[in-house]
Structure 1
């Protein structure tokens, strides 16, 4: 059968807007989840457990998603994942008792959402090189990330307003999330996409996995990107655990202060996205190290100096550095990877990101209860040490090739 390829364009609005809408609803739900759970339990341990279980689900999903994405129609994978998320939010909304929050419905929903995320995210990222031209790829990735960061700004502002007005409980946040997934489902469905057929469809699951891992291992640039992505995302999740705890215990439990922290994190992300939107140069690995060193240093400062205004500024700096790295990492991955391996490459990348999150979220949930704001010193120190180790590893791997 001849290979049928979609004609790349410089932009694709449904592919741009669908992640923004689903992220807006999901960020609003996570805002409500973090606030109501910490308020009900007075600690971050349950949040750490929920995130750890979700990380386990993502680990196994990421292990298989690359083969699925490279063998099946990528559009229908994304559409099916969004539909699963809609049904999960609706079902758990009516199971949950907002007056007596328990772990079971929240864990169930986390499992369903993370199953959808494990397959939809690699499929959507793998569609970009097929739908977007090479010259427009970094710009598209930067605008897409900027919109997602805009969603992260709107979510805490809207969430803080809803909490202040007492309009919604946790069930209401769940229903809003279901609506956002329904809209993104419709947008993905509208994309004109023809799946290419290629070599990957000739392999079984085991052979396809082995081929993908060997392909990545032979390319030090991809290995380095995977390692850096895993490190920064584990620590990003840890930072998100510290924020609601600090507000509850150091800053009078004011929900608006928690909203502002998340807003500044997203503002920094938008500035990082705008920075790369205007940058017409190819992404460089040295830029990633500079940004992540700045992020780690800022976190150490916030941990040593427990001041809300310092925490606000550091939140913006961390968001700026994280967003800049994430956009470059996605563009580097898309540019260095052959189309028939994109699904498996993103599967391995997200596997690395998710593999250590269960342990990291679980540990930092309890470390935050013990060290409070000083947990940020540990997080920043782990980032700086991790960067040094990955750089040494990359140099040795490159020398051995």
Structure 2
């Protein structure tokens, strides 16, 4: 048994700093999951506009597109642990303010958009630093397993989130959901203060200007085409994949004629699928070709969106949605694992900030999705998104395979 687990991702738990990091990330991701879907449901209670739902995602993720490179430079110049401690404390403050606005009945759609912009700006600084920390916590040979194990948190949060979403919202009110999120971030900060800050002092010369540091990052990426193509695939797919989470409240309300409990149940099964997917990856070790699996899981995700978009039956939707969660986790986790494994330490923060454009590109996708859904309907919009994801995976994936074959 010990020999079996030594070949899996769970081997990484023997490192104390990684354990603290993992526990902090668990608290944090429960908060982030609840924050994303809580804001979408909050906006749905304030307005019936699909465009406003799309703007929530755009407001939250546009700053990542605009400022994540700056965040990557900061990550490569300053102590990454101290950066993450600060941003997580700011997340707690923003969510606390949201809860107060709801409780006092002052909340308006523009408040939600503005607070989403603040969160997105903090994320632009937080994500590169947090992503780059993992490589300092475990040996390089264990890095793929550490990333997969870290991804279990996303699946676990997506299961725990729906279990608490509906009871808190229906019994206590939506404002208490945001108070709970703030508390989860406070627990995150407390756990982060148990970690050794000296491990996260970077080696880059701080006298180099931000412009020079940015130029060096782009030059490094340009000379490493394999990393570049993987990042481009994530960005293009991310542009269209946001349509699912944006439109899920619309499907819940207008197609399945449900309420917050229905929405929570769909999210629960989505999370269960993601959790199963990460467990499968954590046990697989190095027994599969990561690039082929990345392309396959991306195509599968697009195909499943097309199937989901064509159903009006809640029972069938609950049956198919776990597979959407599984495919989504697979494509995201493998993309991050490949980039983290290939990148050099001195460029890790800047490279991971560019890799996070895969998430930030959903900001543009939010505008695209909201406009199309408002004018042509949620189902047609999701079908188009699925088709574009499949085409992008085949086209960019084939370019990447051709490059690696000729290398």
TM-score where L is the length of structure 2: 0.89
Q: How many equivalent pairs are there? A: 391
**Residue of structure 1 in register with 2:236 after alignment:** 231
Q: Flag the 1:351–1:29 CA change in 2: closer, same or farther, 3 A.
A: closer
Are 2:170 and 1:173 aligned? Answer: no
Shift of 1:389: 2.4
Q: Flag the 1:264–1:57 CA change in 2: closer, same or farther, 3 A.
A: same
3-state SS of paired residue (1:201): coil
Shift of 1:321: 1.2
**Residue of structure 2 in register with 1:58 after alignment:** 64
Are 2:299 and 1:306 aligned? Answer: no
Q: Flag the 1:34–1:197 CA change in 2: closer, same or farther, 3 A.
A: closer
Deviations 1:37-70 (A, max 9, x none): 2133123221211221222212222120111000
Shift of 1:384: 0.7
Aligned equivalents of 2:103, 2:109: Cα separation in 1:
11
**Residue of structure 1 in register with 2:147 after alignment:** 141
CA-atom RMSD in angstroms: 2.3
**Residue of structure 2 in register with 1:346 after alignment:** 352
Q: Flag the 1:312–1:368 CA change in 2: closer, same or farther, 3 A.
A: farther
Q: Flag the 1:352–1:36 CA change in 2: closer, same or farther, 3 A.
A: closer
Shift of 1:393: 3.7
Question: Structure 2 matches for 1:187-206, cutoff 5 A?
Answer: 187-194=191-198, 195-206=200-211
Which of 51, 54, 62 matches 1:48? 54
Q: Flag the 1:252–1:306 CA change in 2: closer, same or farther, 3 A.
A: closer
Are 2:214 and 1:209 aligned? Answer: yes
Question: Please, which moves more after superposition, 49-58 or 94-103?
Answer: 94-103
Deviations 1:238-269 (A, max 9, x none): 10011110110111233222112111211111
Deviations 1:83-136 (A, max 9, x none): 111222223433456646412321222122112222222211111111112233
Q: Flag the 1:216–1:179 CA change in 2: closer, same or farther, 3 A.
A: same
3-state SS of paired residue (1:247): helix
Structure 2 unaligned segments of length 5 or more: list them: 1-12
Structure 1 unaligned segments of length 5 or more: list them: 1-7
Which of 112, 124, 142 matches 1:118? 124
Aligned equivalents of 1:137, 1:400: Cα separation in 2:
27
Deviations 1:307-331 (A, max 9, x none): 3233223321121111122222222
Shift of 1:234: 3.0
**Residue of structure 1 in register with 2:245 after alignment:** 240
The answer as to whether partners of 1:62 and 1:350 remain within 8 angstroms in 2 is: yes
Aligned equivalents of 2:406, 2:212: Cα separation in 1:
26
Question: Please, which moves more after superposition, 69-78 or 327-336?
Answer: 327-336
**Residue of structure 2 in register with 1:362 after alignment:** 367
Aligned equivalents of 1:93, 1:304: Cα separation in 2:
36
Are 2:100 and 1:94 aligned? Answer: yes
